[in-house]
Amino acid sequence: MKDPVFPVFAALGTALVLLPLTWHARTGNIAMVLLIIWIALANFIQFVNTVIWYSNVDNKAPVWCDISTRLYLMSIIAVPACNLCIAVRLESIASTREVTQTASAKKRQKIFELAMGILLPLVYVALAVVWQGHRFDIYEGAGCYSATYISWPWILLSPVPILLVSCTSLVYSILAFRWFSLRRAQFMAVLASSGTNLNKSRYLRMMAFCTIDMLITIPFTIGNLASQLRDFHGELQPYTSWADVHYGWGAVAQIPAAAFDTPSTESAFSRFDLVRWSAPIAAFIFFAIFGLTQDAVSEYRRILRGLKNAASLPKTKTRSIVRQPQDLSNTHLSPVDSERGYELHTKAFSTPPASAQLPHLGSYAWSGHDDEKEIQVTVERSVAY
């Protein structure tokens, strides 16, 4: 169970999947933004769990476990739900049912994407309490995970919703690819008339990610279900009553790494390890498809320029302003206020004028001789930019 490589990949997955976030946020693609957030959150939770419980099973952070187990459950249904939103949008564009998006159509699309990306995961995690036998489990080297009571409610409320969403997304992805194949010649015109910011490359990348994710999620979910049933010899645990299933709800199972080193638990260990690696794998696939494009690279450069400008210190430049000779009648200037950085080169005069101030140059004292009538003033001022 202890894997020193896993937290490194989980941390990298968190960072890599977040890199294209700003660009997708500016395009207003809610489904893509939520997809990035959920994948990054799943990787971050896995990273923290592995670091905290790498060599122990102590219940040292119960509040974190309560929160992280629920967020991780939400991410399991949220990722295919966001892919479904993307697939529906791609199919709608390719089929030309919506030649141009009206304001009401855009509003409906946003509501649908928010409902699938946020509301559905909330409902999913709220119903998870039905099939959770106790508070949570702590695995050495992996951290805290939801406790599962293998029963009919678990099948109906956990893998079945994921399969329904994933299969629907796969159907829409296939339809989107079919429409693309039929309208390949005029597809650029179709995208241009859709009123979106999609081009052919972005369209194909989004369709590719939806398809790849579904081709991974569906077999994995079915295989996990079959493996769970095999571990119980095809027999589900009886769901007699709510009180019986949730008896001792506050209990926390603490499972050491040695428990997975026996032949009888080899299948469970392989399944559990595959569940853990699903989040980093999804992050790296996402980055390979969306994070290396020309748009993404341009966004990285823009961010780096902004960080560089923010970190750089102000530079000091010097400007020389030369004023033309003026008739100041018997005037001699010497600077009094030296803090403003003025340097005056003057001649001497004897009779002071009525005012001894030049507002734009500062305050000065006056003295001089009668034989001089003009002055050449050179002002050198330091200006910060």
| pLDDT tens-place string over residues 101-139 | 678 888 888 999 999 999 999 999 999 999 999 999 999
What is the count of structural domains for the chain? 2
Q: What is the dihedral of CA 351, 355, 359, 362, to 10 degrees?
A: 50
Check: CB of residue 114 under 8 Å from CB of residue 230: no
Question: What values do phi and psi take at 48, rounded to 5?
Answer: -65, -45
d(CA 215, CA 161): 16
Q: What is the dihedral of CA 238, 241, 242, 248, to 10 degrees?
A: -70
Whether 121 and 207 map to the same domain: the answer is yes
Whether 299 and 350 map to the same domain: the answer is no
Model pLDDT, residue 97: 66
Model pLDDT, residue 65: 96
Whether 108 and 161 map to the same domain: the answer is yes
Whether 172 and 216 map to the same domain: the answer is yes
- Does 348 map to a domain? yes
Check: CB of residue 147 under 8 Å from CB of residue 253: yes
Model pLDDT, residue 362: 40
Whether 183 and 215 map to the same domain: the answer is yes
Whether 58 and 196 map to the same domain: the answer is yes
- Does 1 map to a domain? no
Whether 171 and 189 map to the same domain: the answer is yes
How many C-alpha atoms does 193 have within 13 Å on its Cβ side?
A: 13
Whether 35 and 184 map to the same domain: the answer is yes
- Does 279 map to a domain? yes
Low-confidence ranges of the chain (pLDDT < 70): 1, 97-101, 184-198, 234, 263-264, 313-385
Three-state secondary structure readout of 305-343: HHHHHHHCCCCEEEEEEECCCEECCCCCEEECCHHHCCC
